[in-house]
Amino acid sequence: MTVIEPTLPVVRGLVDRDGRLVEADAPLEEVNARAGGRLGGALTIPAIAHLVRLAGQLRTTISRSARMADGDQDVEAWVRAMPEDGSVRIEITNWRSRPAGGALGDAVEAWQCPAAAEAEWRWETDAALHLTYVAVAPDVHDGRDLAALLGQPLTRLFAIDMADPEPPILRALSLHQRFDGQAAVVRASGRAVQLEGMPRRDGAGRFAGFAGAARYDRGGDAAPAFGDGAFNTRLDSALRGPLGAIIANADAIQAQNDGALAGTYAEYAGDIATAGRHLLGLVDDLVDLQAIERSDFHVAAEAIDLADLARRAAGLLQVRASAKQVRIDRPAAGENLPASGEFRRVLQILVNLIGNAVRYSPEGSVVWVRAERIAGEAAVIVADQGKGIAPEDQARIFEKFARVDPNEPGGSGLGLYISRRLARAMAGDIAVDSAPGQGARFTLTLPSRG
């Protein structure tokens, strides 16, 4: 008989930044051990490990049902994965045992929705279109509690456009089939999105809801051509989906979810995932390049807290910094700096500046991130202890496709160009102060507020 029983209290655990189960209540520790793991070693329960990785990547709490194999039983449970200083804390409730092959669809298979890899939003519903899972990309997350949406109708998150006499989502619901091209609006922001969804099936083959995604609507403009620096949006769509699938599959192989592999093969998979992410980053840069070079490009003038955004950006890069043994010294909790700018675009700029600082910092060094008022403007200063930038190169690094040393690992040469264009579109700027051997200091300034 399994140790898992419906009457058990909340079962808790903690997974560190390297995927090791470092704390676990007895029931979780025992199930993990029967799956081949141990306390202090890798978390070996695939369904929970998947949620932990997703919560860590998105930096947001994820709550959803999961199924675990335990001997001759399948255990269904509600799992809550909560990021916490680089680790992920787990809470497991509502245990239910049933014979293997019971009625819960596999969480990983549910994510074969074609739009998921390129989408800003990802979601799942039950058969009554009530949300069982919600996640949003870090660069567009506005800080709201996504867990509060769980159990609510999908229409609480998205306002469905009912102008079509036969909306795709309703047709798909009646036929239990895939849908795409469903126009909708994110209720909290008013931004237009396109919804896509794949039907989920339970163990008996019955309809169990949808696994879907939502992409921000780019307005249906004709795709511009290459040659003037703009990126063809049709090529964007053609690349992003396959790259996302390559990255997801390579990550799964490297994680050895389906069994142990020779070390060399796992390393190959890691290299494939890294290369895929580099290419996906290039696609993102080219899409942004297209946007900022349009004659009608504009940004919102929102009331933002620049210190809070600096903390968020530093948090998004914490895992990358830790992997390089670089410490990010960010503004203190509670410190604030009111400014004017578009939340999403300012976060994008800061992620680029701090990411560059981490990339070019030596092992064991510190990246300082400070929020200050400078000459009446709100500013974030990002300083590193890298090799610095020669005076003759300091103007050139802000040019399109500019790289000081093409032989060094790095991005596309578009990040600083895009960041400065965005800053200036918000009535701000980015400046650099550096000298060879003395690190670099980048300063983002924006209009102060209050």
E strand segments, 330-385: 338-341, 366-374, 377-383
Task: Find the range with the poorest average confidence among 108-112, 190-194, 284-288, 422-426.
Answer: 108-112
Residue 35 has pLDDT above 90, yes or no: no
Judgement on whether residues 433 and 334 belong to the same structural domain of the protein: yes
Mean per-residue pLDDT of the chain: 77
In a domain, 224, yes or no: no
In a domain, 121, yes or no: yes
CA distance 111 to 359: 31
Q: What's the average model confidence in pLDDT over 3-25?
A: 77
Q: Which of 100, 135, 154 is the last residue of a domain?
A: 100
Backbone angles phi, psi at 333, to 5 degrees: -60, 135
Residue 95 has pLDDT above 80, yes or no: no
Judgement on whether residues 394 and 429 belong to the same structural domain of the protein: yes
In a domain, 297, yes or no: no
Residue 353 has pLDDT above 90, yes or no: yes
Judgement on whether residues 313 and 416 belong to the same structural domain of the protein: yes
Judgement on whether residues 140 and 247 belong to the same structural domain of the protein: no
What was the pLDDT predicted at 151?
Answer: 80
| pLDDT tier for residue 142 given thresholds of 50, 70 and 90 | low
Structure-token match 């800053």, residue found: 423
Q: How far is CA 189 from the centre of its chain?
A: 19
Q: Which two tokens stand for residue 79?
A: 């799992």
Pairing of strands 21-24, 11-15: antiparallel
In a domain, 146, yes or no: yes
| pLDDT tier for residue 340 given thresholds of 50, 70 and 90 | very high
Q: Which of 32, 67, 100 is the last residue of a domain?
A: 100
Q: Do residues 92 and 79 lie in contact, with contact meaning Cβ atoms separated by under 8 Å? A: yes
Q: Do residues 158 and 183 lie in contact, with contact meaning Cβ atoms separated by under 8 Å? A: no
Residue 9 has pLDDT above 60, yes or no: yes
CA distance 270 to 264: 10
CA distance 141 to 130: 21
Closest CA to 292 of 398, 420, 118, 141: 420
In a domain, 228, yes or no: no
Specify the DSSP class assigned to residue 282: H
Residue 229 has pLDDT above 70, yes or no: no
Amino acid identity of 59? R
Compute the C-alpha angle 366/368/370, nearest 5°: 170
What was the pLDDT predicted at 139?
Answer: 61
Q: Which of 217, 249, 279 is the last residue of a domain?
A: 217
What was the pLDDT predicted at 1?
Answer: 29
CA distance 290 to 230: 4
Domain count, the chain: 4
Residue 268 has pLDDT above 80, yes or no: no
**Residues 301-335: pLDDT tens digits?**
889 999 999 999 888 888 888 888 999 999 998 89
Task: Find the range with the poorest average confidence among 152-166, 272-286, 388-402.
Answer: 272-286
CA distance 194 to 181: 6
**Residues 363-382: pLDDT tens digits?**
999 999 999 999 999 999 99
**Residues 103-126: pLDDT tens digits?**
333 333 333 444 445 578 888 888
CATH number for 89: 3.30.450.20
What was the pLDDT predicted at 21?
Answer: 93
More confident residue, 13 or 57: 13
Backbone angles phi, psi at 247, to 5 degrees: -65, -45
CATH number for 335: 3.30.565.10
Share of the chain above pLDDT 70, in %: 68
CA distance 52 to 212: 20
Task: Find the range with the poorest average confidence among 187-201, 234-248, 281-295.
Answer: 234-248
Judgement on whether residues 316 and 407 belong to the same structural domain of the protein: yes
User: Where does residue 111 fall: left (phi above 0), alpha (psi -120 to 50 degrees), or beta otherwise?
Assistant: alpha
N residues, the chain? 450
Judgement on whether residues 243 and 285 belong to the same structural domain of the protein: yes
More confident residue, 180 or 266: 180
- Collapsing DSSP to helix, strand or coil, 348 comes out as helix
What was the pLDDT predicted at 230?
Answer: 38
CA distance 402 to 419: 13
Q: What's the average model confidence in pLDDT over 189-203?
A: 82
In a domain, 227, yes or no: no
What was the pLDDT predicted at 329?
Answer: 95
Task: Find the range with the poorest average confidence among 37-41, 221-225, 262-266.
Answer: 221-225
Sign of the CA dihedral with 373 first, then 375, 378, and 384 last: negative
Task: Find the range with the poorest average confidence among 15-29, 132-146, 290-304, 349-363.
Answer: 132-146
CA distance 128 to 200: 12
Judgement on whether residues 357 and 432 belong to the same structural domain of the protein: yes
Judgement on whether residues 256 and 327 belong to the same structural domain of the protein: no
Judgement on whether residues 128 and 151 belong to the same structural domain of the protein: yes
Q: What is the CA radius of gyration of the chain?
A: 23
CA distance 196 to 189: 19
Q: What's the average model confidence in pLDDT over 283-293?
A: 66
Residues contacting residue 149 through CB under 8 Å, at least 6 positions apart: 131, 134, 156, 157
**Residues 440-449: pLDDT tens digits?**
999 999 999 8
In a domain, 410, yes or no: yes
Q: Do residues 381 and 368 lie in contact, with contact meaning Cβ atoms separated by under 8 Å? A: yes
Q: Tell me the β-bridge partners of 196.
A: 213
The b/e string for 216-228 (b: 16+ C-beta within 10 A; e otherwise) is beeeeeeeeeeee
Judgement on whether residues 260 and 325 belong to the same structural domain of the protein: no
Task: Find the range with the poorest average confidence among 238-252, 291-305, 422-436.
Answer: 238-252
Structure-token match 């399994």, residue found: 2
Judgement on whether residues 87 and 113 belong to the same structural domain of the protein: no
CA distance 441 to 384: 7
| pLDDT tier for residue 385 given thresholds of 50, 70 and 90 | very high
In a domain, 197, yes or no: yes
**Contacts by 423-430, CB closer than 8 A, 24 or more apart:** 423/349, 425/292, 425/297, 425/298, 425/299, 425/345, 426/299, 426/301, 426/340, 426/341, 426/342, 426/345, 426/346, 427/340, 428/341, 428/377, 430/349, 430/353, 430/398
Compute the C-alpha angle 139/142/147, nearest 5°: 110
CA distance 125 to 210: 5
Domain that holds residue 120: 105-217
Highest mean pLDDT: which of 205-219, 238-252, 282-296, 328-342? 328-342
Judgement on whether residues 441 and 356 belong to the same structural domain of the protein: yes
Amino acid identity of 415? G
